[in-house]
Amino acid sequence: MATTLEPQALTRTEKDSIGERQVPAGAYYGIQALRGSENFPMTGFKPAQVYPEAIRAFGWIKKAAAQANTELNLLDPLDAARNAAIGKALMQAADEMIAGRFNDQFIVDVFQGGTGTSNHMNANEILANRASELMGAKLGEYSVNPNDHANYGQSTNDVTPTVMRLTVLAKHDALVESVNLLESSLREKAKQFSQVLIPGRTHMQDAVPLTLGQVFGGYANAIKHAGQNIVYFKDRLLMIGLGASALGTGLNTHPQYRTLVTRYLAQISGFDLRQHEDYFQATSSFGCFTDYSAAMRSVAIELEKIAHDIKLYSSGPKTAIAELKLPSLQPGSSIMPGKINPVLVELMDQVSYAVQGNDYTIALCAQNGQWQLNVMMPLTLIKLVDSMTLLTNGLREFSNRCVAGLEANLENIETRMSRSTILLTALNPYIGYAQAAQIAKKVLNEGLTVREAALSMKIQEHTGNVLTPERLDEILSVEAMTQP
């Protein structure tokens, strides 16, 4: 006789302080994450899509907390064996979270209300369910509890700011690498263009000459100094407030917890973390994030200036400046054959605008955290990550696909320079302003080069000697005109 199998349940019933809900039977998340996913249908983007580093950070923090609480016998003070078992299960679950196993179980939209409590409870429910499973219970039974065990001695108010710090720290090295790459690419161009004399320009008008190499050397140093701010402000992110609990008082935490959890988190994450000098500041102030964001804004502004200049230097190529040749990356028009657009330069403009806009949003979030808590954590984290991602990827591609392939348009530059009356500024000390003005008039009226006009007029120096071709070469050399 055939055995009739019971159909597997598709959902399980979970309860919270509000009521009951049906949760998918195989889900590691629970009722609070489910409510959060329903309450915030804002962008459609989940944590794994926007900041997987934050999920890993939750795993790091929860493992460190479980390790500290286990050592302090806090997960079950009445049963040492069960205390150790719960701690071991939570740490294994945290390791799996760190490895990315539960990325798809973070279901709450990244744009959410509150301090990110829904995201935090999503993490707690995943860890509690997985730890319960490891101890032989079914999902949803919570023999390991999301609040009493996974979240023991913690609060969203100290966990989420730490997640934010760790997320930025995790992305920091790649950002600095991209900043350094652009600086290096610009320095290579400074060497390559060291003998290429071009007209200087101020007020969008011709000015005294300089080399294209000097221009790019200035760009390289601008990026270098802006990038140093990013490195400098990283240090403040290494101070963490775990153990602050809800407000900074450390309510419901063991006296040794702050020291232990910071030590273990440093070991687990690999970052040189230290206890915050003021746990009340750690929960109420976002100054460390505004400083880091402002440093990224500085890089973005320098990037935009460089991009604008390159766009102008490469404009044309037949009817404008055209002193630089851009790499040909793709056809630039659906209607005009042969057109090549400065697409990477235009992209950098947009990256810069986005980073500057993100910085303004972060500033608004920081200044509107009332009293003992800044609740604007979700949006602050989104904008920090967005700026870091845009700059990291943007600077890398700009370096490799645009700056590395730049060439000087020597024919255009030499033709324009030979007829530029601005060269006469270099002659002033030798022949005087009045004679230089006469040469300028001849150049403009007769279409001659400066050299041709000066030699044809048999101009005399202050010494009484007539200017010779050799003497002109000496006075108008790159070194003479671009160095003290």
| Catalytic residue list | 333
Q: Can you read off the two tokens belonging to residue 83?
A: 């205390």
What's the CA gap between 333 and 484, in Å, rounded?
46
User: What number of residues does the chain have?
Assistant: 484
Q: What share of the chain is helix, strand, coil (3-state, %, to 5)?
A: 60, 5, 30
* DSSP sequence for 415-467: HHHHT-GGGHHHHHHHH-HHHHHHHHHHHHHH---HHHHHHHTTPBPTTSPBP
DSSP labels for 213-255? HHHHHHHHHHHHHHHHHHHHHHHHHTEE-TT-TTTSS-TTS-T
341 neighbors 332 (Cβ within 8 angstroms): yes
Q: What is the DSSP letter of 71?
A: H
Query: What's at 405, amino acid-wise?
Result: G
| Cα maximum dimension of the chain | 125
Secondary structure (3-state) at 24: strand
Structure-token pair, residue 395: 């600077």
Residue 484 and residue 480: Cα distance in Å, rounded? 8
Distance CA 358, CA 202 (A): 31
Runs of H (alpha helix) within 28-154: 31-39, 47-50, 52-71, 80-98, 117-134
Distance CA 320, CA 166 (A): 48
> What distance in Å separates the CA atoms of residue 42 and residue 48, rounded to the nearest whole number?
16
The Cα 359–Cα 356 span in angstroms is 5
The 3-state DSSP class for residue 2 equals coil
Please, which residues bridge with residue 217 across strands?
none
Closest C-alpha among 108, 96, 1, 93 to residue 50: 108
Q: Tokens for 212? A: 């294209």
Rounded to 5 degrees, φ, ψ at 155 are -145, 150
Region for residue 145 given its phi and psi (left: phi exceeds 0; alpha: psi -120 to 50; beta: otherwise) = beta
